[in-house]
Amino acid sequence: MTTPVPSPKVQAFLARGPHRLFVDGKWLSGSGGLRSITDPATGLELSQVTMASPADVGTAAGAARRCFESPAWRGMPPAVRARLLWRLGELLDAHADELAEIEVFNQGKPFWLARALDAGAIGETCRYFAGWCTKLDGMVHSPSAPDPRGPGAAGPWLHMYSVREPAGVVGAIAPWNVPLVIAMAKVAGALAAGCTVILKPAEQTPLTALRLAELVEEAGFPPGSFNVVPGLGETAGAALVDSPLVDRITFTGSTDVGKLIVRAAAKDLKRVSLELGGKSPLVIFADADLARAIPAAADSIFINAGQMCFAGSRLFVAHSVRGKVLDGIAAIARDMKLGHGMDPETAMGPLISEEQRARVAGYVAQGLAAGGQLLCGGAAPAGPGNFFAPTVIAAENPLNPAAQAEIFGPVLVAATFPDQMPEQELLTRLNATPFGLAASLWTGDIARAHRLASGIQAGAVWVNCINMLDDAAPMGGFKQSGWGYEGGRAGVEEFTQLKTIAIDLT
């Protein structure tokens, strides 16, 4: 594999390193030490980034708090906030190629995917949420409390209404798999609601968050309204959750860390929203359009090298089409070209780290040891980079560890079901996981799709499609896949609180 050279713009950005923290509208040299940021496809260093210490996080929290309480932010008319977010959206679009390229070098996914999924979507996310700034109205109530003036008095005696206020200072903790998209869903929703934000990107992928900070500065947001503190989870992330100056945490990442955050937030009952892991079923019935279902099933697990919370990682296929479906997916997997994300022929990039690759290999080994049958892949190719071959394991036992755990790599675990299986029994199998993020159903029978969609325990059900996300639609997990929503009205209301005011008019 030849090592691609970044474009002049991206080289100029990388050369601005060692990168600092963006706090209170200024670039601060933090005290948590430098981290070498590497290209997961080559292992080569891209740049160095300052990690925030807990004290630096405290400084950022202080700045976000002061800004939240300042007239410059609290007094800003919603329409002005809307224009700032809109301007940021335009800047993100104007720099989409550059942002996509930085993501490719730092995260590993192919450029076509980063351009479409990551950098191509976030400008629209900003504009979508910009529209909410001016629409977060309160309400006037019709209370039933008896009028102390007795019968016949003029007009109401009580004026009772509720206003929707911003939740305060938001700590946003993002993961490394889709760094910009996940950060923007949180940041744009929180800013639209009138909150101020401290973003902590994952330690592996801080680069696009830092470029985002430069664009936020250019858009003209007041100092302190948006801050970026790259840092380690156990120190900077934990300090954000611990800070008394932070009102709300929005987190995407592992279920284990989600639980840690909930425990830590209990100290001051900080509000928390969580988007956690998944082990989502993808079901192919015998009457499905297999020409579409087979490539979609492959995409659902292999896109972004399987490092997707929504990945369709448990395949359930009707017995009569098992051979055709599994052969088809395995053929796609064997054909996929692994390589650097900047190579236009690359179908799949590397995993984010050697640690993640070891985790994925470990689950594959456990799955095979427990009786799973390897249909393709299963190993890491020789050479540099954290690559892992797209893998399909047939495992009928639902207790097989590979069928249970969120692997977060390009590993599909496939099981069959009898064509005539009663729907309730099938639903029991689909729902037999602590997770409840998404499900995808492939069938020509739309009535069956509606019946099953109603019985599936998941925050998103996709019928004859996969990964249908939209800024307008709320997304959230059932069961241990999370709390709260991102996207849609619910995604901005997450960052607000209602205050009810009653005025005696007598």
Q: Is 230 in the site for ligand NAI (CB under 6 A)?
A: no
Q: Is 252 in the site for ligand NAI (CB under 6 A)?
A: yes
Residue 169 or 238 with smaller CB distance to ligand NAI: 238
CA atoms in the 13 A half-sphere facing the CB of 21: 34
What is the total count of residues that contact ligand NAI (CB under 6 A)? Answer: 26
Residue 234 or 445 with smaller CB distance to ligand NAI: 234
Show contacts with ligand NAI in window 299-318 (CB under 6 A): 309
Q: Where does this chain touch ligand NAI (CB under 6 A) — which range of 158-166, 217-225, 227-235, 439-447? A: 227-235
Q: Is 233 in the site for ligand NAI (CB under 6 A)?
A: yes
Q: Is 430 in the site for ligand NAI (CB under 6 A)?
A: no
Q: Where does this chain touch ligand NAI (CB under 6 A) — which range of 125-133, 235-243, 312-320, 391-399? A: 235-243
Helix %, strand %, coil % for the chain, to 5? Answer: 40, 20, 40
CA distance 382 to 334: 16
- Minimum Å gap between C-beta 173 and ligand NAI is 5
Q: What stretches of 70-202 show up as alpha helix (H) in DSSP? A: 71-74, 78-94, 96-107, 111-113, 119-133, 179-193
Residue 122 or 238 with smaller CB distance to ligand NAI: 238
- Minimum Å gap between C-beta 171 and ligand NAI is 9
**CB of 478 closer than 8 Å to CB of 458:** yes
Residue 480 is given by DSSP the state G
Q: CB-based burial of residue 424 (10 Å sphere; 0-12 exposed, 13-18 middle, 19+ buried)?
A: exposed
Q: Which of 275, 486, 493, 494 is catalytic?
A: 275
Q: Is 359 in the site for ligand NAI (CB under 6 A)?
A: yes
Site map 370..409 versus ligand NAI, x via CB under 6 A: ------------------------------------x-x-
Q: Is 67 in the site for ligand NAI (CB under 6 A)?
A: no
CA distance 212 to 191: 14
Q: Which of 195, 309, 493, 494 is catalytic?
A: 309
- Stated as kind and residue range, the H or E segment containing 438 is strand 438-442
Q: What is the DSSP string of 399-436?
A: TSHHHHS---SSEEEEEEE-TT--HHHHHHHHT-SS--
Q: Catalytic: 275?
A: yes
Residue from the set 188, 213, 229, 241 that interacts with ligand NAI by CB under 6 A: 241
Residue 232 or 317 with smaller CB distance to ligand NAI: 232
AA letter at 274: L
Q: Where does this chain touch ligand NAI (CB under 6 A) — which range of 111-119, 170-178, 185-193, 324-332? A: 170-178
Show contacts with ligand NAI in window 260-279 (CB under 6 A): 260-261, 275-277
Q: What is the DSSP string of 295-357?
A: HHHHHHHHGGGG--TT---EEEEEGGGHHHHHHHHHHHHHHPPB--TTSTT-SB---S-HHHH
**CB of 278 closer than 8 Å to CB of 311:** yes
Q: Per the structure block, which two tokens stand in for 382?
A: 């020789």
Residue from the set 4, 120, 189, 237 that interacts with ligand NAI by CB under 6 A: 237
CA distance 266 to 264: 5
Q: Is 52 in the site for ligand NAI (CB under 6 A)?
A: no
Residue 229 or 456 with smaller CB distance to ligand NAI: 229
Q: Catalytic: 465?
A: no
Residue 242 or 343 with smaller CB distance to ligand NAI: 242
Angstrom CA distances, 408 to 78, 199, 253, stand at 40, 23, 11
381: cis peptide before it, omega within 30°? Answer: no
| Sign of the C-alpha dihedral computed for residues 221, 222, 225 and 229 taken in this order | positive
Which active-site residues does the annotation give?
275, 309
Residues in contact with ligand NAI by CB under 6 A are: 173-175, 177, 200, 202-203, 232-234, 237-238, 241, 252-254, 257, 260-261, 275-277, 309, 359, 406, 408
